[in-house]
């Protein structure tokens, strides 16, 4: 029964250690990704401020704030775009991010799917777009100068983290939560170490007590042997 209890404790400790390791690495990877995202975003903003609207980065990151592309791209998903150097590289069914020229959404950044390609009267190529969740095509056609990039990757739900981080409470949580986790983990380690030390001390005392008991049990035998030796010495002298 005792062995079963000890084995159960060992399995629980092993499971707890495994879960703790997975959580630690997960938190670490998430923090690294967030840091990379924020650094890239900061650099992009600084370069845009320096070079103005002519600055076109190779990669661009946007958070989706409307359901127009659902279920392909959901609200609060983050998309990663690559720059388009030639409009002829864009194909039908590509998802692109562009600056809208339609009077209702003029100047807004839109991410929709290319559903057609046509040529305007001046010979310029124009992309017909529509959101996957919309029933009608966009009113304005997208020209090369309005394209920001083609969507290459979608990170689900990352925009929610971004919105949280944008608040003061979010920054506070991103610092406090990992710190608390590390502190609690260290406290458990300290308690575990203290328990191991107590168990080792207890085992040492038990071993010492056993040796003492053994010595006590052997004491009469030693006295008896010594008395027998003394008796034999006296007998030999008399003889």
| Range with the poorest average pLDDT among 59-63, 134-138, 219-223 | 219-223
Residue 219 is predicted with a pLDDT of 47
What is the Cα–Cα distance from 23 to 18, expressed in whole angstroms? Answer: 9
Per-residue pLDDT of 8-22, as tens digits, reads 555 656 666 777 677
| Inter-CA distances, 220 with 198, 213, 225, 227, Å | 34, 12, 9, 10
What is the Cα–Cα distance from 125 to 110, expressed in whole angstroms? Answer: 19
Looking at residue 142, what DSSP letter applies?
B
Ranked by mean pLDDT, the top range of 29-33, 56-60, 103-107 is 103-107
Residue 154 bridge partners (DSSP): 79
Q: How confident is the model at residue 181 (pLDDT cuts 50, 70, 90)?
A: confident
57 burial level (CB within 10 Å; 0-12, 13-18, 19+): middle
Q: How far apart are the first and last CA of the chain?
A: 65
Please state the rounded mean pLDDT for residues 67-90: 92
- Token reading at 171: 């920054």
- The pTM for the full model equals 0.55
Neighbours of 199 (CB within 10 A): 10
- The H-assigned helical ranges of 115-167 are 158-165
Higher-pLDDT residue of 2, 201: 201
CA angle 59, 61, 67 (to 5 degrees): 135
What is the Cα–Cα distance from 17 to 23, expressed in whole angstroms? Answer: 10
Please state the rounded mean pLDDT for residues 189-216: 63
CB 157 within 8 A of CB 106: no
Residue 152 is predicted with a pLDDT of 94
């Amino acid at each position: 029964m005792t062995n079963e209890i000890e084995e159960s404790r060992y399995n629980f400790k092993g499971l707890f250690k495994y879960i703790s390791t997975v959580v630690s690495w997960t938190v670490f990877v998430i923090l690294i990704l967030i840091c990379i995202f924020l650094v890239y975003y900061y650099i992009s903003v600084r370069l845009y401020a320096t070079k103005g609207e002519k600055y076109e980065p190779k990669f661009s990151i946007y958070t989706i704030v409307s359901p127009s592309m659902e279920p392909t791209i959901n609200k609060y998903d983050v998309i990663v775009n690559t720059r388009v150097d030639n409009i002829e590289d864009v194909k039908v069914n590509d998802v692109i991010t562009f600056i809208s020229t339609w009077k209702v959404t003029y100047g807004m950044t839109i991410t929709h799917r290319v559903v057609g390609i046509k040529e305007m009267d001046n010979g310029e190529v124009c992309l017909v777009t529509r959101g996957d969740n919309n029933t009608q095509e966009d009113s304005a056609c997208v020209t090369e100068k309005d394209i920001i990039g083609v969507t290459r990757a979608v990170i689900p739900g990352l925009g929610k983290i971004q919105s949280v981080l944008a608040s003061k409470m979010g920054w506070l949580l991103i610092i406090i939560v990992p710190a608390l986790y590390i502190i609690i983990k260290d406290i458990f380690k300290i308690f575990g170490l203290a328990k191991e030390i107590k168990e080792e001390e207890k085992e040492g005392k038990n071993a010492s007590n056993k040796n003492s008991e053994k010595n006590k049990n052997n004491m009469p035998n030693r006295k008896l042997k010594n008395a027998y030796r003394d008796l034999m010495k006296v007998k030999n002298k008399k003889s």
